[in-house]
A and B are shown apart, each in its own frame.
Chain A
Amino acid sequence: MSASTNATERAQARDPAAARRNVCLRLRVNGEELEAYVAPYKTLLEVLREDLGLTGTKHGCELGECGACAVLIDGAPVLSCLELAVQCEERDIQTIEGLARGTELHPLQAAFADLGGSQCGYCTSGMVMTAKALLDADPAPSRERIKEALSGNICRCTGYQQIWESVEEAARVLRAEKSEAKP
């Protein structure tokens, strides 16, 4: 092997154990103020799943290459695997757990469940949250727009088509809800 010193030794020399202190974070997740005492190297993904018990957010690569970990921060879909948790204080974090209205599914959730948008379900959280941001911005997206908006989310099961159909159906339902809500 190479003469270069080993990575762990370098890390330890640089960073004696005494310096390894957890930090206390206050995060606003799904409207709730939550506190976590975490290692500062943790990404939002790790804190959500390991420290806050919100395992609905999944991970498929941890390198920003699959989209499974997408959550909304201040309404925009981002990858929680690349977002340092220490940067997330005072921001509005939304995860899949916060989407349903009590026991009633959000129209996106209902459509994904009914129309085959979810098979194994592992990409579903990231896909649904990303789709939510799309429908918030564009209540009647074209299929091309849907594909583009979801193009950062890999699904290995569905072949995507039933996902597009699910998003289109949810958009219809949401539009109908909105027009009913108007007097």
Chain B
Amino acid sequence: MMRMPWFRWHAPKSVAEAATILADEGPQAMLIAGGTDLVPNMKRRHQEPAALVALRGLGELKRIANGAGLTLGAGLTLAEVVESRSVRENYRALYHAAAQVATPQLRNMGTLGGNVCLDTRCTYYNQSYEWRKAIDFCMKKDGETCWVATASKRCVAVSSTDTAPALIALGAKVRLVSAEGTRELDLADLYANDGMEYLTRRPDEILTEIALPAASGWKSAYWKLRRRGSFDFPVLGVAAAVRAAPDGTVEDARIVLGAVASRPILTKAGELLAGKRLTDEVIEEVAAKVASRAKPMDNTDLEIYWRKEVVPAFVGYALREARGDDMRATRMRIARQAL
């Protein structure tokens, strides 16, 4: 049986108390919400926090607020996000993304905030302590070298969150709370292209909510590439959000690529698409341009060159769905479910 190491346990009653504990404990403490990322990582000794601060049960983090847009508490489980009518109807990309994270049980446990802050992944890193010892460890944990790119000075572990590309495409902002105060930033700015320091969040900060702007006029979709219809992390995620005029002319658009770098990649799709209509030709052209931003590394499932090759097809699926095409048959083949 794989087992967790010993740790101190804190169960604060409020976000403020959690922030105080976090400030007191310092960087040796970590937050735990659903535990679906942290617990396996601790069992494999990726993270060995001396203390855990539990966010489970904090009502403040479970709020859903409909206003001009939609505000989602970071502590909502992914299942709760999927069940939200507002998400289902107005923020399809987030619905598609959340519904395809891991498995039903893991979505019942894992939270939206946890998925947004998901540790980056790498086939040289997501292994047991003993396995990593056999390669003399790697840069991300206990070692020196990046075995994916041995000349690399930085870790190239992959951003593997499904919801972040969707949320960024939808224009999400996040709120971070610490004992020192509160700050808000664009979700895109929460990420850094570094497999180790992949979040700009400070260790004493708690991600409390994700705010989405009004969805009126926007259509969105998220397409996920993975080997199986369940369990697997994305080896490519494409989120597309498009706002078009009644005649179909694109006014604004965002395409975000996931799982092809250490952070989600916000592409220049908005510039490329603005003023154009989403014809098959335009989609093909934009897909090819956008795809050039994808720089997969050989540290996930599936063959690296193939993963690069299929990016335009997935961008095309997402744009066609955002255009309003019925993509259910294709989704059944790719995702094994119509969503």
Interface residues of A (CB under 8 A from B): 1-2, 4, 7, 10-11, 14-15, 19-20, 39-43, 45-46, 59, 61-65, 67, 70, 76-79, 81-84, 86-87, 130, 144, 148-152
Contact = CB atoms under 8 A, between A and B. Distances in A.
6 contacts: A7-B48, A62-B1, A70-B105, A76-B108, A79-B36, A152-B106
B337 interface: yes
A116 to B, nearest CB: 22
B39 A149 contact: no
B40 interface: yes
Contact of A64 (B40, B54, B143): B40
Given A11-B5, A19-B6, A64-B36, A78 B136 contact: no
Given A4-B137, A82-B40, A148-B337, A41 B229 contact: no
A46 B3 contact: yes
B230 interface: yes
Contact of B230 (A61, A144, A152): A152
B6 A41 contact: yes
B105 A41 contact: no
Interface string B223-244: 0000001110000000000000
A7 B14 CA distance: 33
B136 A64 contact: no
B312 to A, nearest CB: 28
B7 A152 contact: no
B104 A4 contact: no
A82 B39 contact: yes
B136 A151 contact: no
A46 B144 CA distance: 35
Contacts of A40: 6-7, 9
Contacts, number: 116
A82 B109 contact: yes
Nearest to B229: A151
Interface string B37-59: 00110011100101000101000
B336 to A, nearest CB: 8
Interface in B8-56: 8-9, 11, 28, 32, 35-36, 39-40, 43-45, 48, 50, 54, 56
Contacts of A151: 103-104, 229-231
B133 interface: yes
A137 to B, nearest CB: 11
B105 A2 contact: no
Nearest to A39: B6
Contacts of A86: 9, 11
B4 interface: yes
B192 interface: no
A169 B138 CA distance: 51
Nearest to A40: B9
B101 to A, nearest CB: 11
Given A64-B106, A76-B108, A43 B40 contact: no
B56 A87 contact: yes
Contact of B6 (A2, A11, A149, A150): A11
B37 to A, nearest CB: 9
Given A76-B108, A87-B35, 7 more contacts: A7-B129, A11-B48, A42-B4, A77-B105, A79-B106, A83-B35, A87-B11
Nearest to A74: B108
Interface in B93-107: 102-106
B108 A4 contact: no
A118 B22 CA distance: 47
A144 B337 contact: yes
B142 interface: yes
A146 B39 CA distance: 28
B48 A2 contact: no
Contacts of B337: 144, 148
Contacts of B2: 61-63
Contacts of B136: 1-2
B104 A83 contact: no
Contact of B35 (A19, A20, A76, A84): A84
A43 B105 contact: no
Contacts of A65: 231
Nearest to A66: B231
B245 to A, nearest CB: 36
B95 to A, nearest CB: 14
Given A77-B104, A82-B40, A41 B5 contact: yes
